[in-house]
Structure formats: structure tokens, C-alpha cells
């Protein structure tokens, strides 16, 4: 029998995404969620949380490079960085490409995600072994409340706004991020697809603009995410990702497969219907 993984995006609207697999490598249930690892025909190993695709080896770089480098090539001195979520290690891997980073904290609510990814995704999770990195297993919203004015950059690598990640899409969390950032800090958060999730994005944009002096929305193309793209909210106390873009730093990065200076700029160019609801 053929093995297919099926992600039910929005069944009521007729949207289902299927990936052909050769093996279910591991399946565990943590205190927070079900975690599965598949070997796929087209995308390499695939990490799934509660039947929603999180990472595939083939296209993970699209997401991880964009959620990190837009922010770290805008802030002039990102010495202290916090990643909330991101238990697979891919976001932290990209953070560590920047020599300006002296200390990087990862706050992941589910230690089982880190364990599974150390085992099955070592090319991502090896980032946790860097001496600049410290891991904290805690709720991200609670964590930032106890770290006032602590970080130059905060990156929220979250799952969708259901279950443990729901709190990360609330106004109170963004207010907490504002206070956890230093006076010129930058935050980037996973902010869904503008094709499918306009109400969520519009709500986040509205309260972000009320909190941060600078707000912009940008996106990346990720084939295995709903609609083939994923968006991000850029929230800043001072710096603008276009006006303050540090292009020489972006050009100095090596070993990337998606991000470049042209993509940095182009990712902020949005369709008319997206501009309308934003």
C-alpha cells in the first residue's frame, strides 16, 4: 500500500495537501502535541506537529533564512538574540551565521521537539551545540515578561495560532515583545499566508502598528506550507527593513539557498488585495 501524509488545510473550502511518503520514521505524543517524522518521496525528511507540516529538508531553508536574515541585516548590532519556538534548530542555525551575535537564547515550550530534531534533523539541531546558544524550555509569553529590555532581536518561529502557539498571536504578547527588546530592537514573527489567513494578518498588523513605530509585512515561498507561501511581521522600535537595510552584510553571507539582497527587498512587495486588507 502507498503511504500518503494528508494535511487538511481547510476542508470546508476544499483544500487538502498530500505528500507521498515511504516511511513513518517516528511518532510520539508529548505533553503538548503529537510529533511525527516521515521520510517523503520528494521533500526528504518531514517534521509534522498535530498533522500539520512544520519542516521538510527540501524547503526549510526558504523559511528559516527569511525569518532571520531580514531582521539581522537590518539591525546594526544584533548582539543578543531570542528565538521563541524553533525547536527544530533551523532558525537558530541562521542566527549563528552572523558574527555580530554574541548570545542567542532559544525558548521552546516542548523539549520533545528538540529531542526528536536532534535525532532526525541534525543539520538543523546541531545549532544548539554552539557555545553562544542557551536553551530554555518554557512558555514564550511568560519568558519575555521576565526579560525586560534584554534583546536586540526577537524572532518568533511559531506554529499556527492554535493550541500552545495561540498566545503568540495576541496583542498582549506583542506588547511583551516590545518591552523585552532594547531601545532600538527588532522583532520578526511568523504571520501566516496572505492567501488564506487575511483576518489573522490584518488583526496582527493593526495592533502591531499601535505598539511599534515601524511595521511591515513580508513573505517567502515555501512549497509545503498552505498556499505555497508564508508571511512574516516585521516590528521595530527604530529601524526600517528597506531604508536601513545593511546590504554589505547580506552580501557577505555564504551557503544560503534562498535569501539574497534582491529577495530581501522584493519580499515586501505585496499584491493589491493584500495591501487592501493590511
What residues are paired with 82 via a beta bridge?
Answer: 105, 154
Q: Which of 88, 110, 152, 157 is catalytic?
A: 157
Indicate the burial class of 130 (C-beta count within 10 angstroms; 0-12, 13-18, 19 or more). middle
Task: Provide φ and ψ at 184, rounded to 5°.
Answer: -120, 30
Quote the cell numbers at residue 168.
Answer: 503568540
Residue 65 near residue 253 (C-beta atoms within 8 A): no
Alpha carbons 20 and 237: distance in angstroms, whole number: 44
Alpha carbons 174 and 152: distance in angstroms, whole number: 15
- CA 131 to chain CA centroid, Å, is 22
Alpha carbons 182 and 189: distance in angstroms, whole number: 17
What residues are paired with 34 via a beta bridge?
Answer: 29
- CA 94 to chain CA centroid, Å, is 11
**157 part of the active site:** yes
DSSP class of 214 = E
Question: Which residues have a catalytic role annotated?
Answer: 157
Amino acid at each position: 500500500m502507498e503511504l500518503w501524509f494528508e494535511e487538511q488545510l481547510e476542508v470546508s473550502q476544499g483544500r487538502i495537501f498530500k505528500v507521498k511518503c515511504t516511511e513513518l520514521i517516528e511518532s510520539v505524543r508529548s505533553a503538548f502535541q503529537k510529533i511525527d517524522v516521515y521520510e517523503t518521496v520528494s521533500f526528504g525528511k518531514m517534521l509534522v506537529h498535530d498533522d500539520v507540516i512544520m519542516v521538510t529538508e527540501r524547503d526549510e531553508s526558504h523559511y528559516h533564512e527569511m525569518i532571520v536574515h531580514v531582521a539581522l541585516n537590518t539591525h546594526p548590532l544584533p548582539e543578543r538574540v531570542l528565538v521563541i519556538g524553533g525547536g527544530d534548530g533551523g532558525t537558530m542555525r541562521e542566527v549563528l551565521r552572523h558574527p555580530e551575535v554574541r548570545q542567542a537564547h532559544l525558548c521552546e515550550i516542548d523539549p520533545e521537539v528538540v529531542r526528536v530534531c536532534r535525532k532526525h534533523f541534525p543539520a538543523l539541531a546541531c545549532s544548539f551545540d554552539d557555545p553562544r546558544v542557551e536553551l530554555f524550555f518554557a512558555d514564550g509569553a511568560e519568558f519575555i515578561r521576565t526579560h525586560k529590555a534584554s534583546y536586540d532581536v526577537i524572532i518568533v518561529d511559531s506554529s499556527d495560532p492554535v493550541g500552545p502557539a495561540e498566545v503568540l498571536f495576541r496583542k498582549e504578547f506583542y506588547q511583551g515583545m516590545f518591552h523585552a527588546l532594547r531601545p532600538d530592537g527588532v522583532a520578526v514573527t511568523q504571520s501566516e499566508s496572505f492567501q488564506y489567513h487575511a483576518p489573522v494578518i490584518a488583526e496582527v498588523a493593526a495592533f502591531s502598528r499601535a505598539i511599534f513605530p515601524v511595521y511591515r509585512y513580508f513573505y517567502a515561498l515555501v512549497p509545503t506550507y498552505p498556499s505555497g507561501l508564508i508571511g512574516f511581521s516585521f516590528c521595530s522600535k527604530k529601524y526600517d527593513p528597506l531604508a536601513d537595510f545593511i546590504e554589505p552584510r547580506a552580501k557577505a553571507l555564504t551557503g544560503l539557498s534562498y535569501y539574497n539582497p534582491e529577495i530581501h527587498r522584493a519580499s515586501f512587495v505585496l499584491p493589491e488585495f493584500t495591501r487592501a486588507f493590511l
